[in-house]
Homo-oligomer: A and B are copies of this chain.
Amino acid sequence: MPDALFDRVAIIGIGLIGSSLARVLRRDNPQTRIVACARRAETLAAVERLGIADEVTDDPAAAVERADLVVIATPLSAYAEIGRRIAPSLQDGAIVTDVGSVKGAAIAALHAVLPDRAHFVPGHPVAGTEHSGPEAGFAEMFRDRWCILTPLPETAPDAVAKVAALWEMAGMRVATMAPDHHDKVLAVTSHLPHLIAYTIVGTATQLGEDLQSEVVAYSAGGFRDFTRIAASDPIMWRDVFLTNREAVLELLQRFSEDLTALQRAIRRGDGEILHDWFTRTRAIRRSIIEAKQA
């Protein structure tokens, strides 16, 4: 059996992402000891039932004791409090990483409170489903997806390499970029799409009772795909929009301008503008298929 990457891994927040990572560790590094930490007793009970951790606790400080890797996988709004609570218990040389969708906010919440004796490697595995909780996780979720690490100038390269090795073990491709660049890219590829999906599904649910059962029945015409995205975890996504506010609002402005232009073309019956636009958007789909991200 090859050496495990880590001896003792503390996973703080054991939902979809955290539990999927625990399953990867169980599969590929079975000798690694996994400590799962969650606030709610029913989450910890589910983790025990699933057998994806060796120890469970609701105390982040206790969870990180003697851990050589700490993975923070809670919603972003919990980061500052968790950082404050785990800081005194981190062992010398412990690596702390996270999986949050907004790296500027993750760094703002954790960087100042974590002690110098620990190595903080901000990270974001770009993978997931619309389901939440430890039952929803699965080891293959990360396969062939990208993980973005946004190390700080002072982050030790060895620590970055070990976190990269962890996600590569999970099947991911790993890229490194500046935190603010990450937040701009993800605003396009993830945050705006979620906001739009949440909006349109909300619009449709307010159309009155009689129309609503028909909206459900005939959802296969396109609406269905939006409902999948709009079923994602409400707390996680509230935090994303509150913490990546500037990038999301800037993009939203562009989106609204474009939507108004198409609305105007529809009202004026200008088919050429519509046709040209719809032809251009078709091309980007081909790029995604070629990049094997379809």
Footprint of B on A, CB under 8 Å? 77, 101, 126-128, 130, 145-146, 148, 175, 184-186, 188-207, 211, 214-232, 234-235, 237-239, 241-242, 245, 248-249, 251-252, 254-256, 258-259, 262-263, 266-267, 269, 271, 274-275, 277-288, 291, 293-294
The answer on a CB contact under 8 Å between A220 and B126 is yes
Given contacts A217-B293, A241-B274, 9 further A-B contacts (CB under 8 A): A188-B211, A189-B218, A197-B222, A197-B281, A198-B262, A201-B281, A215-B284, A219-B293, A256-B256
Q: How far is the CB of A80 from chain B (nearest CB, A)?
A: 15
Contacts A/B (CB < 8 Å), 26 sampled? A126-B221, A186-B221, A190-B222, A192-B200, A193-B222, A196-B200, A198-B262, A199-B258, A200-B255, A201-B285, A203-B251, A204-B284, A206-B254, A215-B284, A216-B287, A219-B288, A220-B293, A225-B228, A227-B288, A230-B282, A234-B279, A245-B269, A248-B266, A249-B267, A252-B259, A256-B259
The answer on a CB contact under 8 Å between B285 and A269 is no
The answer on a CB contact under 8 Å between B202 and A277 is yes
- Using A190-B218, A218-B185, A277-B202 as known contacts, say yes or no to A196 and B242 having CB atoms under 8 A apart: no
Q: How many copies does the complex hold?
A: 2
Q: Is the interface of A mostly helix, strand, loop or mixed?
A: helix
The answer on a CB contact under 8 Å between B188 and A228 is no
The answer on a CB contact under 8 Å between A221 and B262 is no
**Chain B contacts of A291 at CB under 8 A?**
216-217, 219
**Chain B contacts of A126 at CB under 8 A?**
218, 220-221
- Using A214-B185, A215-B189, A224-B294 as known contacts, say yes or no to A285 and B255 having CB atoms under 8 A apart: no
Q: How far is the CB of A254 from chain B (nearest CB, A)?
A: 5
The answer on a CB contact under 8 Å between A274 and B217 is no
